[in-house]
Amino acid sequence: MKFPGLELFLDDVGLTDRRNVRRVVMQPRMHRSNPVLRREHPWEESHVAAYGGIHFDAHRQRFRMWYNAFGASYYDQQMLAYAESEDGIHWEKPLLTQRSYPGHDGRTNLLFGPECNVHGPGVIENPDQGDEERRWLLLFDSYDRFRPDAAAQGITGRWSYTASSADGLHWTPEMGVPAFAGKADSAQCVLWDPTIRRFRAYSRLTTTDALGQRIRTFRLLESKDFTRWEAPREIFRPDAQDGAPDTQLQQLAISYYDGIYVGFATLFRISQYVVDPAGRHIDEGAQIDHTELITSRDGVRFDRVAERQSFLEPAPSGFGATGYRLAPHVLVHGDEVRIYVSSNRSRTGRWKGLEIGLATLEKDRFVALQPERMREPALVELTPMVYDRLPQLNATIGKAGRVRAELADMNGIPLNGFTRDDAVALETDARNHPLRWQADGQDYDLARLSKKECQQPLRLRLWFEQSQIHALRQTEVT
């Protein structure tokens, strides 16, 4: 087994041993200008939500945001809107001619809707860039009542639909193509997994438990072509430890992060359960969202990270007061992970007031492994693997801290010249520490290994004191 190229230490799958170690979830920084995208147009009267997608378009050298705009009527005026930016912080909403808005005489920045009512859109770049007419792909949820041909197509209730675009601005077909059934009233999280060469849609499903209470789960559907989708399978729901069924699942936002699935589970606690006289709507009180990290190696079985430590907590007041609903995917740009979020400024604005903000992490720093007892050294040993390229360490090192690397064979015996006593101690913060050793005043790395040793699985051990280990990434051996 070769080192896969990246280890984020989100779980213990890649570890065989850990001593005096605890895992800590890193906290993202909220941008001082939040919200970075605000409501301003009539078609944004209720909300602007980060449902949609934020991408850096290398062709245009611009950040592009597709977001969900909600007009005065929350249930009947849900649309896909568009903004652009040079830095991902200061956004412009270009006024275009694609879509009009009832009662507004002029251009809008709407790309889809309100005729078909677009809810929870998910926009991704097509991995097949040779298909120039389908460079951008869209998945969204809608009601049958907005589709005159629903009955003829055998559509009842809520369904999800797909559309495509050459430029991200002009989408076809105008009403979308039916994809799969079921109420999916959250952000549609759709991605491409290059290892299995399939699109994966993580879609919320509102269903009923055995005792008749409404609950929210998430399901996974797969497709080879973004048009024909296989049967769904349930992959995530709150459990007794969460406080289910009165703790409900708001959203899963999942990214395929260089071979590792990194996700966010947003949950809220209902404060009441009031059904209206018509039986159509259930009032569960204010939905105050709390976000945790989840991870998976296969995109099917997800585990909670760090014993369900919080990743994003509601702000005490102002933007973030209701917690955060996230864009479907993170955006990695330079040395930064950008997480676009939606929230309200007040907990009294029911069904109204979402705007879009920005939270950031340093690249690859979702969690930290650090000593449980700070006075004692900690140890992490990775699963035996073949290292044909050099891993670099992403670490935060304390004032009196250091990290040393060691290589051992399958029997656990340290290799000559690669013990922790031979290691060049890492004593400063960096995202790309090379792992090196020293003898006779000369530094060296894995390139010094014999050909036979390079072909054998090795145990990489990291001994660290008063430091935080975040990730290992490979670089090319020179």
At 263, phi and psi to the nearest 5?
Answer: -140, 170
In the chain, the percentage of residues whose pLDDT exceeds 70 is 99
Which residue ranges make up each domain of the chain?
A: 6-24+368-475, 29-363
Report the C-alpha gap between 334 and 300 in whole angstroms: 29
Q: Rounded to whole angstroms, what are the CA distances from 286 to 47, 241, 271?
A: 16, 21, 7
- pLDDT at residue 209 is higher than 90: yes
Asked if the domains 6-24+368-475 and 29-363 are classified in one and the same CATH topology, the answer is: no
pLDDT at 477: 46
Q: CB of 257 within 8 A of CB of 233?
A: no
Give residues with Cβ within 8 angstroms of 316, minimum separation 6.
none
35 pLDDT band (50/70/90 cuts)? very high
Instruction: State which H helix or E strand residue 453 sits in.
Output: helix 451-454
Mean per-residue pLDDT of the chain: 95
pLDDT at 105: 87
**Comparison of pLDDT for 347 and 223, the residue scoring more:** 223
Cα dihedral 240/244/246/250 (nearest 10): 130
**Comparison of pLDDT for 194 and 105, the residue scoring more:** 194
- pLDDT at residue 282 is higher than 60: yes
Q: Which of 107, 166, 159, 158 is nearest to 131 (CA)?
A: 166
The tokens describing 401, both together, are 């801290």
**pLDDT tens for residues 347-405?**
875 668 999 999 999 999 999 999 999 999 999 999 999 998 778 999 999 999 999 99
pLDDT at 286: 87
pLDDT at 350: 63
**Comparison of pLDDT for 478 and 226, the residue scoring more:** 226
Distance, CA of 59 to chain centre: 23
Class of domain 29-363: mainly beta
Report the C-alpha gap between 468 and 444 in whole angstroms: 24
pLDDT at 478: 41
- pLDDT at residue 80 is higher than 80: yes
Report the C-alpha gap between 69 and 119 in whole angstroms: 9
Q: How large is the average pLDDT for residues 421-437?
A: 95
Report the C-alpha gap between 468 and 478 in whole angstroms: 28
pLDDT at 58: 92
Report helix, strand or coil for 29. Answer: strand
Q: CB of 251 within 8 A of CB of 326?
A: yes
**pLDDT tens for residues 136-188?**
999 999 999 998 889 998 999 999 999 999 999 999 999 999 999 999 989 99
The reported pTM is 0.96
Q: How large is the average pLDDT for residues 434-455?
A: 91
pLDDT at 450: 86
Instruction: State which H helix or E strand residue 458 sits in.
Output: none
Instruction: State which H helix or E strand residue 454 sits in.
Output: helix 451-454
CATH code at 6-24+368-475: 2.60.120
Q: Which of 251, 313, 309 is nearest to 288 (CA)?
A: 313
Q: Which of 317, 22, 57 is nearest to 166 (CA)?
A: 57
Q: CB of 207 within 8 A of CB of 140?
A: no
